[in-house]
């Protein structure tokens, strides 16, 4: 059984979709959700599903990332999934969970990624550039923002008259579709070291 931690800052619709997708799974268990905001909607959503939620305030993420590593290890977390999490992931956390932290980005990376590129900013940049395709990317988190290895991508076509708002409306359901699939794919990477040891 792979234990997952979901990190979220906002309403938590994507987090809830992930949790519901794997409810009753024999391979994947959402062990804990973590939010940097005490008033985040994700807390209520996870509580209603019977999932433990921890509030870790912003100053801890900035000043004591080792405390977060300890929290995740106490819950025996194997994989961390960022679902609308709006905090910087410190290298201390990345080093503790190498290639075990997933993020989702609303473009076809490496295009329209990097610092400051998130949400509506991405869609606006794609439309203004006259792109014909955009999409969603799930990737491993690395020290480089949006620079980790890509796990899975799915694309959508832009049509004449496309706006940032209409593109976002196309992208959002694609996020629900792609993330659970990418999480399942990432388990192959996690199990590889064990298979190589012959266990």
* Chain centroid to CA 153: 13
17, 55, 75, 105: which one is catalytic? 105
d(CA 141, CA 150) in angstroms, rounded, equals: 9
Dihedral of the alpha carbons of 143, 186, 175, 120, in degrees to the nearest 10: 10
Q: Is 105 a catalytic residue?
A: yes
Cβ density class 136-160: b for 16+ within 10 Å, e for less: bbbbbbbeebbebebbbbbebebee
- Catalytic positions, please? 105
């Amino acid at each position: 059984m792979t234990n997952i931690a979901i990190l979220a800052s906002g309403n938590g619709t994507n987090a809830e979709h992930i949790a519901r997708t794997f409810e009753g799974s024999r391979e994947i268990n959402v062990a804990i959700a973590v939010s940097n905001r005490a008033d985040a909607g994700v807390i209520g959503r996870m509580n209603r599903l019977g999932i433990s939620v921890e509030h870790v305030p912003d100053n801890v993420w900035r000043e004591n990332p080792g405390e977060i590593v300890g929290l995740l290890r106490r819950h025996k977390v194997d994989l961390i999934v960022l679902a609308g999490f709006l905090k910087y992931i410190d290298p201390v956390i990345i080093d503790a969970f190498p290639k075990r932290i997933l993020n989702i980005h609303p473009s076809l990376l490496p295009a329209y990624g990097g610092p400051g590129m998130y949400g509506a900013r991405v869609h606006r940049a794609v439309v203004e550039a006259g792109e014909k395709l955009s999409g969603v990317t799930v990737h491993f988190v690395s020290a480089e923002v949006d620079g980790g290895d890509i796990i899975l991508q799915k694309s959508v076509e832009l049509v004449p008259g496309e706006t940032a708002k209409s593109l976002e409306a196309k992208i959002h359901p694609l996020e629900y579709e792609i993330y659970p699939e990418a999480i399942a794919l990432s388990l192959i990477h996690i199990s590889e070291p064990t298979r190589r040891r012959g266990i």
